[in-house]
Chain A
């Protein structure tokens, strides 16, 4: 499975602002997932977008996928201090060969009151 690369590495915003982070990958995918990790804890699955989808929403989250550019973006609207975490993308081309997600370094988001 391939690795995603998140950009920027770090992002600092104030509560109420929107946060956008990007993910790039190299080869074709079946789906792309975004995960969140609060400091020192396990990852939490946020959203999955399939290769035939261009946009998906979940609450304050909006994910876009551009397969021609091999990139995805995660938008968090009206950020809250509780959104402070690291965010990882995981592009996946897994099928029957098994589930192995390769994560990048992530984007570290800091939301200040």
Chain B
């Protein structure tokens, strides 16, 4: 099976712009989670989607949003970019059936740089 894929891998934007990141989960996985990783704050949970619904949300401002499509692919959007949004954004998918645990399989990440 193919792993979790994220596009683009690298992105450079300027303050005030918006950005959309994409994630394709492992085939058959129904849950997709997003994380932000920065040197200062570490690895922080953004949100989780399951069956096109946001099921969990971390402590991030409303500028951060996401969605999940019927094929489980997910996108996250950051509007009005700030310098502090520069980070590695990681997507992870989970099988999420009634027998499974919450083991997550991570993509390689999208490195976002805000200038």
Chain B residue at minimal CB-CB distance from A50: B101
Residues of A within 8 A of B104 (CB): 43, 45, 99, 101
B-chain residues with CB within 8 Å of residue A97 when the two chains form the complex: 55-56
Q: Once bound together, how far apart are the Cα atoms of A48 and B48, in whole Å? A: 20
Within 29-69 of A, Cβ neighbours of B (below 8 Å) are at 30-31, 33, 35, 40-45, 48, 50
Q: Mark B95-115, 1 if CB is under 8 A from A, else 0.
A: 010000111111111010000
Counting CB contacts under 8 A, is A84 at the interface? Answer: no
A81 CB–B CB distance under 8 Å: no
Q: Is the C-beta of A113 less than 8 angstroms from some C-beta in chain B?
A: no
Main secondary structure of the interface of B (DSSP, over half): strand
Residues from chain B with a CB closer than 8 A to the CB of A103 are 35, 42-43, 45
The interface of chain A, by Cβ under 8 A from chain B, is: 1, 30-31, 33, 35, 40-45, 48, 50, 88, 92, 94, 97-106
What are 20 A-B residue pairs whose CB atoms fall within 8 Å in the complex? A1-B56, A31-B101, A33-B101, A35-B106, A42-B106, A42-B107, A45-B106, A48-B103, A88-B43, A92-B102, A97-B56, A98-B50, A99-B94, A99-B102, A100-B58, A101-B33, A103-B35, A103-B43, A104-B42, A106-B43
Give how many B residues have a beta carbon under 8 Å from the other chain's beta carbons: 27
Minimum CB–CB distance from B91 to chain A (whole Å) comes to 8
B106 contact from A43, A102, A106, Cβ within 8 A: A43
